[in-house]
Chain A
Amino acid sequence: MAAPDIVMYEEEFNQIKGIIAKLRVDANSKVVFLVDKNGQQIAAHGEIEHLDTTSLASLTAGNVAATDGLARLIGEKEFSILFHEGEKDNIHISIVASRVILVVIFDERSSLGLVRLRVKKASEELNRVFSNIMAKVEKERANVGTTFESPFAEITDEDIDSLFS
């Protein structure tokens, strides 16, 4: 196997957390979270104590994947924004850096216009962070077998068995 496609480092993780925390305040929203297109949650911020963020991440990715499929069927590359309107809460979903999904949940304290505006700005910042991450990953991939040290190189059968005990 090649080096994993996404590796999150402390430095970029903190930058991402900072950006989504700021977005939550700026957009006056309840929750902001970031998921990769495969449904893995990257970071979340806001009123998430009573929220099943793992399921949210998986369903969001499924939703985006299905919508991507629809887009291609009609000759579009992707639908970069999805918006679901509820009675109280609304979900704004957008694709950042072609590979991660930014989700904002908001209620009547905010508005779609404000969320769209703030998301646009945050997306530009996130784009930069993800370019850095991808550059780092590429660099490590080029070094695979020479200097890239996987922390899992020494996983033993006992380690794995102990997970199931």
Chain B
Amino acid sequence: MTFINYASREINCKIVYYGPGLCGKTTNLQWIYEKTNPNAKGKLISLATETDRTLFFDFLPLELGTVRGFKTRFHLYTVPGQVFYDASRKLILKGVDGVIFVADSQVERMDANVEAIDNLIVNLKSQGYDLLNIPYILQLNKRDLPNVATVDEMRKALSRKTPPEPVIEACAARGTGVFETLKGVAKLVLADLTKTS
């Protein structure tokens, strides 16, 4: 749900990073946090366990600049990936404007990816959204590891949209593809606003 404030001329959009446990959602946010101009970002908040696993969410507010006289802010959230935190994942999807699915490219994580995408579809539905209509990007993360599935195999297993969703290869720990993914989803969200009229 985009929040548009005509009085202070601001648009706020909510982007959620979704994906199986340890796929690199928080790493995406950390990279963005480290590489963004200090004036453009707020604090990175991580509600994590003592072992740095996300417990509730990570949150990073970003101020991107001005579009048509409106200050544009993106609020980036991650969900906890571990299966048993499903209730929290549902809550975080509330009011989402765009979703990035971070898939773990390692062959042995393919089942976890599929399970997480199916879970995303169910949880979006419970908040009244349909994956087919929501701005959505599929990020194939950890492409630098040796035991990865091919891009074609991953598309086949994880693509859920027709026409197919944009797919971006990434290595979040080194920053490859991180900003491309964010920019991709931001474009889709803002393009979605143009359809409002």
Show the binding face of A for B, using Cβ within 8 Å.
1-10, 13-14, 36-40, 42, 52, 54-55, 58-59, 62, 65-66, 68-69, 144-145, 148-155, 157, 159-160, 162-164
Within 8 Å by CB of B191, from A38, A148, A155, lies: A155
A-B contact pairs, 12 of them (CB 8 A): A1-B192, A1-B196, A4-B196, A8-B7, A37-B95, A39-B95, A42-B3, A62-B59, A66-B91, A144-B197, A152-B190, A160-B191
Complex contact B61–A58 (CB within 8 A): yes
For A68, list chain B residues within 8 Å (CB): 91
Complex contact A38–B3 (CB within 8 A): yes
Complex contact A9–B6 (CB within 8 A): yes
Cα distance A151–B66 in the bound complex, in angstroms: 13
Complex contact A65–B3 (CB within 8 A): no
For A8, list chain B residues within 8 Å (CB): 3-8
Complex contact B194–A38 (CB within 8 A): no
Complex contact A151–B5 (CB within 8 A): no
Cα distance A39–B92 in the bound complex, in angstroms: 10
Complex contact B7–A9 (CB within 8 A): yes
Main secondary structure of the interface of B (DSSP, over half): mixed
Complex contact A13–B7 (CB within 8 A): yes
B window 80-134: CB within 8 A of A:
87-88, 91-92, 94-95, 133
Within 8 Å by CB of B14, from A38, A42, A55, A149, lies: A38
Complex contact B56–A1 (CB within 8 A): no
B window 139-197: CB within 8 A of A:
179, 183, 186-187, 190-197
Q: Which residue of A lies closest to B2 (CB)?
A: A4
Q: Which residue of B lies closest to A73 (CB)?
A: B87
> Quick one: given A65-B91, A155-B190, are A52 and B43 in contact (CB under 8 Å)?
yes
For A54, list chain B residues within 8 Å (CB): 42, 61, 75
Cα distance A7–B179 in the bound complex, in angstroms: 29
What's the nearest-Cβ distance from chain A to residue B192, in Å? 5
Cα distance A14–B12 in the bound complex, in angstroms: 19
Other than the given A6-B4, A39-B59, 13 more pairs (CB < 8 A) read: A1-B192, A1-B196, A4-B1, A4-B4, A4-B196, A37-B94, A38-B94, A52-B42, A69-B91, A144-B196, A152-B11, A152-B67, A159-B190
Complex contact B6–A7 (CB within 8 A): yes
Cα distance A62–B110 in the bound complex, in angstroms: 30
> Quick one: given A4-B4, A5-B1, A66-B88, are A155 and B61 in contact (CB under 8 Å)?
no
For A66, list chain B residues within 8 Å (CB): 56, 88, 91
CB-based closest 3 A-B pairs: A38-B95, A13-B7, A150-B197
